[in-house]
Amino acid sequence: MNPVLSNLITALARFLIFPGLLFAVPAAWFFLWVERKAVALMQERVGPPFMQPFWDFVKLLGKSTPPRPGIAGFIMRAWPLIAVGSAAGAVGLLPVLPASGGFEGDLILLLALLELPSICIIAAGFSSRSIFGEIGSAREAALSVSYNIVFLLAIVSIAASQHTFRLEDLAALPSSPLRWLGVVAILICLPAKLHINPFSLPNAEQEIYSGPMTEYAGPELAMWELAHGLEWVAATGLVATLVAPHVALAWGTTLLAGGIFVALSVAVVLLLSVLAAATARVAIDSSVRFYWQCTLIFAALAISSALFVRFRS
């Protein structure tokens, strides 16, 4: 077969089937349920039923939306769709199955796609012209500037120590202390990236209503919920792909790669949910200070030692 055509088919299959939309959308609902249920159990509640995120999604699809005339309304409707598309693309890039393809530099594309939903949220808040949306967007922007430095430095330090920007090679290379340091740094950034406690500032209920989503209703809100769920899948999946090959090798099998990926993702979701239930929201200045003062030192240490390792070898 024509190599270009076969590459295209592989890419489409990864985007649409596994680990793309066909897998990622139910997984997104499942992860949202796991998060809500875990928080409920921590608070000694029964919690939502298993199908709850799915029912919420269907119900929102059936609601009416306020009229949004003109180009501004069109742009406002476009943001949630862009967010869903980029989050689904990020999930599709994850090297879950061994030898599933990929290309040199797909790590950079993955980072860009992971960042797009947050940029969409910022833009959506400002384009909705709601005062609460604008406050939420400003907070999201401040938070994004803070945690992304640590997040990117952690990933770049892993990539630099392993001499590659290709996800599949990165996942397959042997474990090192630097990689585990990087994984911990990514885990510290995830609560801010997923807007959960203690960094649930952009969509802080009781303070600014729903932040950037205040003006969204019906199917648009359903798309935001879906984008949020897909972000969960992509972010926890990134951690899982960095950890999974080692678990798989330790168990002496690579056949169970998909299952191990899902199990590790759920474990990360549980960890983050327990953290969210156990903590209260931190103020915006404290959050920014936390990332710039406390964690940046470790990220700088990680990248400098990665460069040191690289030049010594």
Residues that bind another protein (CB under 8 A): 36, 40, 43-49, 51-52, 55-56, 58-59, 61-66, 132, 205-206, 208-210, 213-218, 221
CB of 230 to another protein, least distance (A): 20
Is the Cβ of residue 116 or residue 201 nearer to another protein in the bound state?
201
Residue (of 25, 231, 219, 233) closest to 144 by Cα position: 231
Cβ atoms of 307 and 160 closer than 8 Å = yes
Helices and strands (H, E) in the chain, number of each type: 12, 0
* List of residues 6+ apart from 144 with CB closer than 8 A: 115, 118, 119, 122
Least Å distance between CB 64 and another protein?
A: 5
Compare residues 66 and 259 and give the one whose CB is closer to another protein: 66
* Smallest gap from residue 139 Cβ to another protein (A): 15
Rounded to the nearest whole angstrom, what is the least distance from the CB of residue 153 to another protein in the complex? 34
Nearer to another protein among residue 44 and residue 285 (C-beta): 44
- Torsion angles phi and psi, residue 200, rounded to 5: -85, 45
Distance CA 90, CA 27 (A): 14
Q: How far is the CB of 214 from another protein (least distance, A)?
A: 5
50 token code pair: 């298993």
In the complex with another protein, the residue whose CB is nearer, 51 or 294, is: 51
Longest dimension (CA), the chain: 62
Peptide bond into 53 cis (omega under 30): no
**Closest to another protein by CB, 64 or 313:** 64
